[in-house]
Structure 1
Amino acid sequence: MSYLLQTLTKKREVDTIIRDTIDKVLVLRFGRASDAVCLQLDDILAKTAREVSKFATVALVDIDSEDVQVYVKYFDITLIPSTVFFFNAHHMKMDSGTADHTKWVGAFHGKQDFIDVVEAIFRGAMKGKMIVHCPLPPERIPKYQLLYKDV
């Protein structure tokens, strides 16, 4: 399904989509097309892209591309898939009860969960918020043990 979504492999492409996506939530899925969980997430993203198109743009970032490593490092993408949200070139954060508010790690349970999250980010962004509360119940938020290097 990922062929339905734009895949970014260059830093310039990521820079441009972040800069040029105005008054919409930009959803960037960092991962690789060969990963089973990425494919599951890509399926949900592809099926909902049209439904959310009035207030969101969805794109995939290939983390194996040498040219996007600056973003992989900046957002500390160690687990895939990781989904990062932007609004008018500002990084949007979400408090989902996990230690990391900068990105969504893992897949969504279904289309409605993804739509609910993007709508919450859009509504928060329209009110000038940079961090929003996750609208999903805790049991529908993937739990990952975050490994901290050098601790």
Structure 2
Amino acid sequence: MILYLRIGMIRVVVIEDDHDGAEVLAECLRIKGIDVLEKGYNGLEAVQLYKKLKPDFVLLDMLMPFYDGFYGLRKILEFDPKAKVIIVSASIDQDEKEKLTKLGASAIVSKPYEIDALIGALHTINKEKENNLKTRPIII
């Protein structure tokens, strides 16, 4: 059994079907002081990693083979309605943004994005979570 000591570091799981993209994002997050627990490559792995690791956040791509981001988002929130899932994806139109918001996404970050904007969203949502505040999803 792995126990994690909370010392203020935000813990995330990165889910991205592009292996190189997942590695680059994970490394950028680590450089910025975010603890990347694991990487996964489809919606099913997102659910499995969430259940196993209980991260503070799941950073979830939408367009993936086999099990997409909608599957991952729905199943994670069925398992834990308080889970924080940030959608990080290209090609999200307004209808999809509304659907993701209704499903319970904590934030929607469109690719390409500035890493500091993503880090800012993580910190903002984490602070709201720690203070038991409920706000509208962040859309970047």
TM range (shorter): 0.3 to 0.5
RCO greater where, 1 or 2, for CA within 8 Å and sep 6 or more?
1
Q: TM-score, normalised by structure 2?
A: 0.46
Q: TM-score, normalised by structure 1?
A: 0.44
